[in-house]
Amino acid sequence: MGAKTAKKLEGVAASEGVAVGPAFFYDPARLEPERSGISGDEVEAEIERFEKAVEAVAGQLSKIAKKLEEEGAGEEAEIFEAHIELARDLELSESVEERIRDLQSPEAAVLAAGEEFAGMFAAMEDEYMAARADDVRDVTGQIAAELMGRKAGGLETLERPAVILARNLAPSETARLPKGIVLGLVTAEGSRTSHVAIMARSMGIPAVVGVGGALEGVRDASIVAVDGTEGYAMADPDEETTADFEIKERQMAAEREALEEFRHTEARTLDGQRIEVSANLGSHHEAGDALSWGAEGVGLFRTEFLFMEREELPSEDEQYEAYAAVARAFGEKPVIIRTLDVGGDKDLPGIDQPEEENPFLGWRGIRMCLDTPELFKPQLRAILRAATEGNLKVMFPMVADVEEIRAAKAVLKECRKELEDEGTEFGEVEIGVMIETPAAAVCAPELAKAVSFFSVGTNDLVQYTLAADRGNERLRRLQRPDHPAVMELIRCACEAAEEAGIWVGVCGEAAADEALIPRFVELGITELSMSPPSIPKAKKVISEISGTPAT
């Protein structure tokens, strides 16, 4: 029998590095409920059984989180802490209990409720939030398995080094990977912000995700080569390809070692210009890991997680605790809190949200907040209170004109007055605006007079400028932050900022793009905010360029 023909699988570069090794195809059976219904006299007992299953799963997750903390794996531990909260989520429990009272079996109820909640996340345009659908399915799947007396199996039985191929890997499955034995990961689903990608990066495992249906065509592969930097894998590579990968592996190992010196140094250009390299965070739990990567601040703290899948809006005190925690973690380093940025793609409890044909061009971000003071004011009050704990700044999203900024500042002023009258301690915060609509970039000269800083949200700026939905695969060629139209708008914003004497940052994915960093610095951008693992390389790139703007 002749050698197998090599097959290339193209996907998303999820975790840097290369690896070559035997293939291990992980294909667990789909979890199906053992029974669909129950009788009326079983309802209360089955609800109690469901509650016990929730606590059992929360206990298991807690053990994993504690073990990861002890091993110094902070970011992975935070994922499991979030999963504990999700397992005990009141709205999820109520949805399951309602289904049980309708005589659905608890295992069927929890799987159905989980799929409904996951669908809400998956429909969101924000890639980071959409990736949380997998977390919901993971946790509810564990609860259903507990109810049915099934135990996890498969991955932990792996006894020899291998490259794992799978449709997807949930955080709970990734946590069971034997240490030092997984050479690489290739999944059909996933994105750079999915938890399999986050955990692969934290564990230093090369990973390619989102290869789609091509994965099915390599079920019989013997050897797989993974390039998590370029975003592709080769099934049954020839000898020449294998040799090339081995060379790459040695080169990357040397590069990783060289990057260590940049992790905790200040980023400066060759001529001494200071460029701040910060982290994008989705939760205060991620602060420790960001600091370990050398974050010099937080350029974007997403507050949406506090509002997700709840029966009630988060209280002012709950928000204060989250903002104060990240402020304390970073001390004097700046932390930019972005106010709530959701719209019709996500229902908020107690908020009358209209059905919109295109919610991403609708009532969202600052527009929604200004119209709903019961949503906006508690968040601003919490931010002002938390400002006593560190160096907090506030940033408003989805701005189209200066009137919105004036209105937002007026609400912030009201909140200061209220806190002062109550005798509640609060701090001062600088005010910034997201440059993510073409209107904001065009109106930048006027906006710059009203705020202390700009932060360019390249993800949305690209899609709004080029009328190309960033979730539409057919429009991938247009999803380019380096498109001339996008770069021209960024240039306009930078010129307006310089004229007004304020600074400009970038907090979209493009902030970590090695090819774009020199162009951003040349335009006058002085802060770049990104996924924490990208920080050392960004600092290295900055150290190798001149900061003097082109004439």
Tell me the pLDDT tens digit for each residue of 98-150: 999 999 999 999 999 988 888 887 777 666 677 678 788 888 888 988 888 87
Mean pLDDT across 531-549: 86
Q: Which of 1-15, 244-258, 418-432 has the lowest mean pLDDT?
A: 1-15
Mean pLDDT across 1-20: 82
- pLDDT at residue 347, as a whole number: 63
Here the tokens at position 248 are 């790459």
Place of tokens 């975790």: 15
pLDDT at 168 over 60: yes
Split at pLDDT 50, 70, 90, the class of 551 is very low
Torsion angle of alpha carbons 376, 378, 382, 385, nearest 10°?
A: 110
| Domain architecture of the chain: domains with CATH | 7-23+160-248 (3.50.30.10), 40-147 (1.10.274.10), 267-543 (3.20.20.60)
pLDDT at 485 over 90: yes
- pLDDT at residue 305, as a whole number: 77
Query: Phi/psi class of residue 524: alpha, beta or left (left: φ > 0; alpha: ψ in -120 to 50)?
Result: left
- pLDDT at residue 5, as a whole number: 78
Mean pLDDT across 149-178: 75
Please say whether the beta carbons of 125 and 119 come within 8 A.
Answer: no
pLDDT at 374 over 80: yes
Concatenated DSSP letters for 323-388? HHHHHHHHTTSEEEEEPP---TTS--TT--PPP-S-GGGSS-HHHHHHH-HHHHHHHHHHHHHHGG
Catalytic residue from among 369, 415, 494, 507: 507
Mean pLDDT across 158-178: 80
Residue 195 is a catalytic residue:
yes
- pLDDT at residue 284, as a whole number: 85
Please say whether the beta carbons of 508 and 457 come within 8 A.
Answer: yes
pLDDT at 359 over 70: no
State which H helix or E strand residue 239 sits in.
Answer: helix 239-263
pLDDT at 10 over 80: yes
pLDDT at 199 over 70: yes
Residue 507 is a catalytic residue:
yes
> What are 225-264's pLDDT values in tens digits?
999 999 999 999 999 999 999 898 888 888 878 888 899 8
Strands of 182-187's sheet, edge to edge? 7-10, 232-235, 223-227, 18-26, 162-166, 182-187, 207-209, 12-15
pLDDT at 310 over 70: no
When comparing pLDDT for 27 and 43, which is higher?
Answer: 43
DSSP secondary structure code for residue 214 in this structure: G
- pLDDT at residue 235, as a whole number: 94
Split at pLDDT 50, 70, 90, the class of 546 is confident
Mean pLDDT across 306-318: 81
- pLDDT at residue 432, as a whole number: 97
The proportion of the chain whose per-residue pLDDT surpasses 70, expressed as a percent, equals 87
3 state SS of 132: coil
Catalytic residue from among 83, 195, 284, 285: 195
Average pLDDT of the chain, as a whole number: 87
> What are 464-480's pLDDT values in tens digits?
999 877 666 677 677 78
